[in-house]
Structure 1
Amino acid sequence: MPITEKYQKSFTHLNRAPGRVWTPATKKKAPHKPLLLLALLDLFAQGHIQTNFIELTPDLSDLFTLYWSRIVLPGQKSSVAFPFFFLRSEGFWHLVPVPEKEQVLASTKSISTVGQLRDIALGARLDDELFALLQNENNREMLRAALITAHFSEDVHPALIEQGAVNAEAFDYSLRLYEKAHGKIGDKEEKYKPAVRDQGFRRAIVNAYGHRCALCGIRMLTPDGHTVVDAAHIVPWSESHNDDISNGMALCRLCHWTFDEGMLGVRNDYTVITSPLLVRNTNVPGFLLNLADRPIIGPPERDLWPALESLVHHRKRFRLRS
């Protein structure tokens, strides 16, 4: 049997548990494995996987979650660790044990969190033949079509195909934002769908700041790779139509809201301003008051720091005194 046909068959006949919780959209079977494989195909297309070793990265978790949200009912959640572990039953997916945990991994029957999986597995390795196959775009698209056709109803095929296209364009957009920040490309106007722009801007900002809030410094990732920070525009998109990395900061949810409301700002020397509004009425701002005059935590690359003109615009808008 030709190699392409072998793995097309493997991707088409994944072992999936049936259950009442699953809708006709997933053919009344668990969608975890095909969704993880769709996310994996995206990472190969983006050039993230250069060697035959698959890690549980935030990027993989984000892509899995994006596909999940397109076809699973709101409120149903799952961990990327679940299919990452159970794909080992398919024959082409081989978990790599943590040293001295080989027997523990072999005897483990089920896991439900990334933390549990990381205790016993470093990641996964594909069949060498499959890894070589995935280097080719045509092969990836053939396997993508096999996953979507075999495991999902026709009415959700367009949503899954669209999500794959959005993921690819958002990755390209985030690269363009980096190239522009480093002066490698100009200001040529290119139109992107809102979903592409939002995802690409978020990826660029969150990665530039290393998942750390520029104002308070908090950095937290859930075991599944979900981050505490948002990608915040300094001058709102509605006013500026500007997704430059220098018009953004990674901010935790509290600092994001407080910044957008004009109760926090940043001076031209990159120190934090706190507004008197923080302590108005019955406010109890807690640690936010301690941010006054502290330097922000910017990206390691100076080219990616906030633009002074954006910070000035924000201060003027809210009449923040430097």
Structure 2
Amino acid sequence: MVKTSASQKDSHNFQVPATMSAFLAIVFLSLNMGKSGGAIKPVVTFTPNWGNVLPGDDVTLTCDVPSTVPEEPRTYHWYKDKRPIPGDKQRLRISISSVERDSGDYQCQTIGGDISDPVFLDVTINHVILQRPPSAIYEGDPLTLRCHHLRFFDEINTKFYKDDQEIQSSESDSEFYIPNIMMSQSGRYKCTKQIQPYDRPHVVEHSDVSVISVKELFSPPEIKVTPSRIIGGDEMTVRCDTRLDPLRGGTELHFAFYRDGRTVRGYDVSDTYRVPSSQLEDSGNYTCEVRTVSDTVRKMSDEIYIQIMQIHDYMIMQNIIRLVISGFVLSAAVCFIYFHNKW
């Protein structure tokens, strides 16, 4: 007969209390929130796409999860200022009631996935606000600004300004649209709106201001050539070097190359132009151009001159360099002997 030890009995009969299970779940969730290297990192988006709202507005938050599996069923968790809030669906609808209750950083997460970066929802108490998207604005992005007012008011006239210069005036249109914004369009934007309460006869003008800072999508390209000295028949490699903002790392760029203003290679995803066997006629002033697929942003490099040398020209140049170096060494030796004997 096999006897069972007390420790074996304890291990078979041990059960985790309900309070301990809840505690472990919270610890697991906290660890999960701290992850940064998961394969799935969702993104919180707003509908309508405004980062600042007024009491009485409705906002729908969506947890967008990149996935190769269409319509994959998931359970979602929502957080405000790193604290869990009710909601387990992909979309979370909020009826804005107060600054204290609804302003804050919102995040979402799926089970086993990373938590999203925080997106700030700014609830403002004002008669009029200039609404803008919650995310960073990059060159080439479409941008819509909205001059928004409290409910229960009639709007009379809306004006938009950039750096105190009027850029739009309308009796009915409360939005200002830029299809492809450039960095030069950064600045101080303001809107004014004449509004009238439903139960009052007088009209009052209110305004709001927002500073728009447009970020660089990719740096101006620099053209580079290897090797530094090219002899006819050598392979020549010309590269168009640019740096894409890491937060827009998924943006596809296309590259083109020109010699003396004429296209030698049209737009392509490769940032490199190769000539397997360079010839004298490949010499010239080279530039390269980078653009987005949508062609909303394009930038040209400075010009560099590339000289393809014939072998005899290269040998002559090498001999000249040797003669110059030899002359320098000889002169230094003569000077050394002269001053040595003088001392």
Question: TM-score range, shorter-chain basis?
Answer: under 0.3
TM-score by length of 1: 0.22
TM-score by length of 2: 0.21
Structure number with larger C-alpha Rg: 2
Compare the two structures and name the one with the higher helix fraction: 1
